Amino acid sequence: MTEPNKPASRVETAAAGIEDDIINLNERLLTRADGEAMADDLRLLEALLFAAVEPIDIETLRERLPKGCDVGALLAKLARDYAGRGINLIRVADRWRFQTAVDLEHDLVDIRETPRKLSKAALETLAIIAYHQPVTRPEIEDIRGVSVSGGTIDVLMELGWVRIRGRRRTPGRPVTYGTTENFLAHFNLEQVTDLPGRDDLKAAGLLDARLPKDFEVPTPMLSMDIDEDPIEDEDDSEFMMDFMEADEKPGLDG
């Protein structure tokens, strides 16, 4: 029995949210003559998701499945079928993938790859980009209070967690940074607005309990900022200048 006021797991929440879709799917199965074909479509969908090396979007699934398939209903049924198993079907960044159940993570530590350990500077920079995006390098430095080396941002971009979003409509046209779909997938987030807020961070011990009452955790942007232009195809030399515009000063990026 679930404890009172205890938040449901991500899988349980997803399962509850697709209950109506399952009911509708069952009704269609009862009235559809080619029920066996529907079962074959479900098997093919399962195989496609299992074989994929990265999360798949619905449009790609529609292209791979037989014409006329109700991909949304099939995904709903498959997610429901896997909800209580060791492997779950989840949605991240509007894409779908299979992954091991979150509650089994502690039993799989010995057989999972050891993640690359990021420096404190990289973690702080990633957090600032995630919560303040779109954000420029000078804005990152202003929030951190120290200079940010180009190498720190390079590491985050090599990991595929950070990308260049656009250019700020200010003198110098500095580039703006934001997170990627790989970032969402790695941290099991459906969208950037699912990042933990002030209360969640405080409960996890990641924020000082003596924070000012007016302290707020910013909400990341889902679309282009009004003061931001999308990145067009540019010369590599111009791209490199954004990383070299500030002098590297040893000891400042700590």
CA-based radius of gyration for the chain? 22
125 φ, ψ (degrees, to nearest 5): -65, -40
Q: Quick check: 232 pLDDT over 90? A: no
Could you give the CA distance from residue 202 to residue 64 in angstroms, rounded to a whole number?
44
Asked, for residue 237, whether it belongs to a domain, the answer is yes
Check whether residue 71 and residue 169 sit in a common domain.
no
Could you give the CA distance from residue 156 to residue 33 in angstroms, rounded to a whole number?
52
Check whether residue 79 and residue 127 sit in a common domain.
no
Q: Residue 62: how many CB atoms within 10 A of its CB?
A: 14
Check whether residue 68 and residue 20 sit in a common domain.
yes
Evaluated on CA atoms 116, 120, 124, 129, the torsion sign reads negative
Check whether residue 99 and residue 162 sit in a common domain.
no
Check whether residue 170 and residue 215 sit in a common domain.
yes
Domain count, the chain: 2
Give Cβ neighbours of residue 141 (< 8 Å, ≥ 6 apart).
147, 148, 246
Q: Are 78 and 42 in contact (CB under 8 A)?
A: yes
Domain span at 61: 11-108
Check whether residue 127 and residue 102 sit in a common domain.
no
Average pLDDT, the chain: 76
Check whether residue 237 and residue 127 sit in a common domain.
yes
What global pTM score does this model have?
0.52
Among candidate residues 108, 134, 155, the one where a domain is terminated? 108
Check whether residue 45 and residue 137 sit in a common domain.
no
The per-residue b/e assignment along 182-192, b for 16 or more CB within 10 angstroms, e otherwise, is bbbbeeebeeb
Q: Are 75 and 96 in contact (CB under 8 A)?
A: yes
Asked, for residue 115, whether it belongs to a domain, the answer is no
For residue range 51-90, what is the model confidence (pLDDT) as tens digits? 888 888 989 999 999 888 889 889 988 999 998 899 999 8
Check whether residue 219 and residue 239 sit in a common domain.
yes
For residue range 213-223, what is the model confidence (pLDDT) as tens digits? 666 667 776 66
For residue range 147-177, what is the model confidence (pLDDT) as tens digits? 888 788 999 999 999 999 899 888 888 999 9
Check whether residue 87 and residue 200 sit in a common domain.
no
Asked, for residue 3, whether it belongs to a domain, the answer is no
Could you give the CA distance from residue 30 to residue 101 in angstroms, rounded to a whole number?
31
Check whether residue 76 and residue 139 sit in a common domain.
no
